Structure 1
Amino acid sequence: MCCLSQLTIGIDNSIVNLALPSIRADFSASLTELQWVIDAYQLVLGSLLLLSGALADRFGRRRVFVVGLLGFIAASVLCSAAPTVGTLIASRVLQGAFGALLNPVAISIVAEAYPDPKRRAGAFGAWSSVYGASLALGPLLGGVLVGPFGWRAVFLAPLPLCIAAIAATPVVIPAFAAHRDRRMDIPGQILATAALGTLLFCVIEGASRGWMAVPLLTSASLGAVVGVAFILRERRAPAPLLELRLFRSRALSPGLGISVIGLATTAGFLFLTGLQLQVVRGFSPLQTALCLLPVAAATIVLAPIAGRLTAQRGPRTPLVTAGIGFMAGSGLLILSTPTGPLPLLLLAYLCFGIGFGMVNAPITTVVVAGLPRSRVGVASALSSTARQVGQAVGVAVLGAVATIAADGTVQQGLGTSASTAWTITGIGGVLITLLAIAATTRNRSSARTGLGHPGTNEDAAGRP
């Protein structure tokens, strides 16, 4: 059930990429609007994950899970029936809100079912591997559906998984007791969502409106104020949305950095590649999906291997391999162009698949390293949040690069922006490698400095 929820969320995250050219054609949508079709979902999903965990504790995991599935089905139908691009974006917001109710249940079940750190690392690896595989499979499924059935069909594709999950929920998910006294940090949630929203607004809209435009400057100023207010709120809240003391774990910040950068690199790559192959090279959705087969194959094969490596030897090897994969893929794409030799592009896509296949599984293990068992669920939810935020940022940044380059047409922008975009993803690979070394080195030193270890009864501050 945990993996099924991940599969649903992951497919919906990536399946839309292959439908973007068709959506653009039907609605005469701009690149900016296409970015919002993706990021409206990512933003809401990522910003509500931590609050959803509190909702699951307060009202019962099974109940919240079923409400999330039913709402996700309804929002998906609205997306499929959207008459305008604005309506589609609004429906994607609803999809993200209900999708956020699914992950915390899976996280808490995995955390409670595997108290042993090594077994938990393997479980989180398998759980994360399913999500990685779903992101790779989404474009393939989208390519198969868009050609014969149109872009509206991609929003209905995850519904059979949702229906199966609803049917299996009473059997699979235990009836955990609800904690009615669990407090929810609503002001913190509002501030967090506003801060993320203003950040993405600046990146996405700045490329088309101009970076010095009054709305952009106002949004940036507001975002800075809201971000500071959020930190001050969380330091004083009796039941904070984000426990800032968790960051005393020396591996947490590098782990979250890897989450954001790794998923930003992958999401930006899928967003830009799907558009380039269809708009610049003139490929059909199915041809585009076939070109992305190396990404899917490498991810599906390597994701479970990365999980096993993490459980047996730690996260450094798969994470460094991932960084090298992203660097190699980016380098090959810089040498080529969107209209370059197809074998070279396919080799580059394979390298990106190696990068993503190796990066996703170890992330949660890095994030929870050095934390007590009582904080594993919270840290895992934070890792999922970082994943979603990273995907939103990746689409926003690479989409902004293409928008800036689109002086004449979208096709021109997608072509001339390629070198800059792939340089950014290559830098992402370098940062993942450096952060992986830093995080795993600090893990070893943390054992000597007395930081809490998973499975102990200490909290992140070292108090019992």
Structure 2
Amino acid sequence: MCAESAGRRSWAPLLAVCAGYFMVILDVTVINVAVPVIGRELSASLTGIQWTTDGYTLVFAGFLLTGGALGDRLGNRLVFCLGVGVFTASSAACALAPNAPFLVVARLVEGLGAALIVPGSLALLQQAYPAPAARARAFGLWGSMAGIAASAGPLLGGLLVSTVGWRWVFLVNLPVGAACLALTLRHVARSPRHPARVMDWPAQCAVVAAVALLTGALNEAGRRGWSDPAVLAGIGLAVLAAAAFAVRERLARIPVLPPDLLRSRAISGGAVIGLLFNFAFYGMVFTASLGFQQQRGYSALATGLALFPAVAMTTFASVLSGRLTRRTGDRPLVVAGMLTAALGLAGWAAAGADPAYALLVAPMMAAGFGTSFALTGATTTVMSAAPPGYSGTASALFNTTRQLGSATAVALGGSLLATAADPGTGLRISMAVGALAYLVAAGLAWLCVPPKHE
């Protein structure tokens, strides 16, 4: 009995962390199907409705590095719990929003909470599971949450909107957030603090501006086109902000991203791999969602069900990779996962302009399996190479590049569908580009991921 109780307690930190991470990623996609209803009920303009989705993404992506730095300085458990509290409270505010401006502000605050949750989540798992095998399994299940949440978002959103109303898209976060906070405070140990590490606020502001401007420009590119003045201005300002960040980093006594962090082939390579497989996987989810609804006339609920094969493989793949990594090391798993996913998207691209749905099941399963199979190894690679006291910052860097990959995929996918001769051709080109990204990630993994962690 005592052994069983200890076993349950040993997985409590994983449950707490995954609950928080699931909420964050779910809120990126679950709102999409609710947007038209929200616009009608709150009499919102098109711009206002766009900001309910884009505002969350911009703040989330922009403040990830700040969240990671705060976690390393103040303790990752403290910042994680603060993020859960902010996220849950702002979700309640979103649900009670009387008008569109109130909802937009609440979504911005929700994005800030998300940015505090995600960097600490990986750092807390690394702290809670020091044994390599247990840590690999925990990282694998953490990674599978992203694919499940992103793909299940349209399905859950469609179900809630069509039954109990759009406000429940946000209300479902309240019990999850409360349970996550209770589990974390009870079962996750306090994290080390480094109070002597001074926050370089000018550098933090520069990186927030660079990431937020680039994410915003990429979001708008999908709607306005790449040559739109607002898109070009956003990209240009993002480059200037990045340059200002680089100059400040050279002058800072304690830089936001230590040189050892960026010089590490495992960390920098792992971050680029994360960007590439997020670009490919979320590009598939986004363009497939549009294709199923626009070409085939599926409802939001039917679209969520149609994407289920990709979701179903993520948990299985993460568990399998977590079990294999101790024997094989991370490199073979990341390479094999990327090649499997590339084969899946290449198969979709080769299936024709309007293939039967049955022909798309195997490609979706391959993409979902391959991405989740590789994510465990990529995550372990980045976190294992992080210098002492910088686990939150390494996690933030990894997740920032992944968010940029997702934003780029949505922008490029939207442009391809809008500019192609027909939607079927745009969808096939998008899948081919995703397959190429997976192949590049496989090659990079062979060069940057260590063959085996001892």
TM-score by length of 2: 0.84
Letter in 1 for 2:369: I
Distance 1:141 1:310, change over 3 A: farther
1:9 corresponding residue in structure 2: 21
1:249 corresponding residue in structure 2: 264
Distance 1:60 1:373, change over 3 A: closer
2:231 corresponding residue in structure 1: 216
1:158 and 2:173 aligned: yes
2:119 counterpart (104, 116, 140): 104
2:445 counterpart (431, 436, 439): 436
1:169 and 2:184 aligned: yes
Contact 2:218/2:411, CA 8 A, preserved across alignment: yes
SS in structure 1 opposite 2:265?
coil
Contact 1:42/1:389, CA 8 A, preserved across alignment: no
2:303 corresponding residue in structure 1: 288
Q: Deviations over 1:330-353 (max 9, x none)?
A: 223223467531101222221221
Instruction: Note the residue ranges of structure 2 that are not aligned, 5 or more in a row.
Output: 1-12
Contact 2:38/2:166, CA 8 A, preserved across alignment: no
Distance 1:189 1:6, change over 3 A: farther
Q: Deviations over 1:109-166 (max 9, x none)?
A: 3333445556544543343344444444444433433432344432333322101022
Distance 1:14 1:417 in 2: 26
1:141 and 2:156 aligned: yes
Letter in 2 for 1:167: A
1:128 corresponding residue in structure 2: 143
Could you tell which deviates more after superposition, 80-89 or 287-296? Answer: 80-89
| Structure 1 residue 189, shift from structure 2 partner | 1.6
2:373 counterpart (358, 368, 373): 358
Letter in 2 for 1:100: A
Contact 1:27/1:84, CA 8 A, preserved across alignment: no
| Structure 1 residue 376, shift from structure 2 partner | 4.3
SS in structure 2 opposite 1:238?
coil
How much identity, in percent, do the aligned residues show?
Answer: 33
Distance 1:232 1:62 in 2: 32
SS in structure 2 opposite 1:227?
helix
1:426 corresponding residue in structure 2: 435
| Structure 1 residue 259, shift from structure 2 partner | 0.5
Q: Deviations over 1:302-342 (max 9, x none)?
A: 11111222233112222223222322232232234675311
Distance 1:377 1:68, change over 3 A: closer
Letter in 1 for 2:428: S
1:27 counterpart (36, 39, 42): 39
Q: Deviations over 1:260-293 (max 9, x none)?
A: 1111222222222223223332222332222122
SS in structure 1 opposite 2:358?
helix
Q: Deviations over 1:83-117 (max 9, x none)?
A: 67776554432222111222333333333344555
1:387 corresponding residue in structure 2: 402
Distance 1:79 1:356, change over 3 A: farther
1:68 corresponding residue in structure 2: 83
| Structure 1 residue 31, shift from structure 2 partner | 10
1:306 corresponding residue in structure 2: 321
**Count of aligned pairs between the two proteins:** 439
TM-score by length of 1: 0.82
Distance 1:190 1:10 in 2: 27
Contact 1:111/1:120, CA 8 A, preserved across alignment: yes
| Structure 1 residue 21, shift from structure 2 partner | 4.2
SS in structure 1 opposite 2:116?
coil
Q: Deviations over 1:39-87 (max 9, x none)?
A: 5333322332232233334445444333322211222234345567776
CA RMSD of aligned residues (A): 3.3
SS in structure 2 opposite 1:228?
helix
1:263 corresponding residue in structure 2: 278
Distance 2:318 2:76 in 1: 28
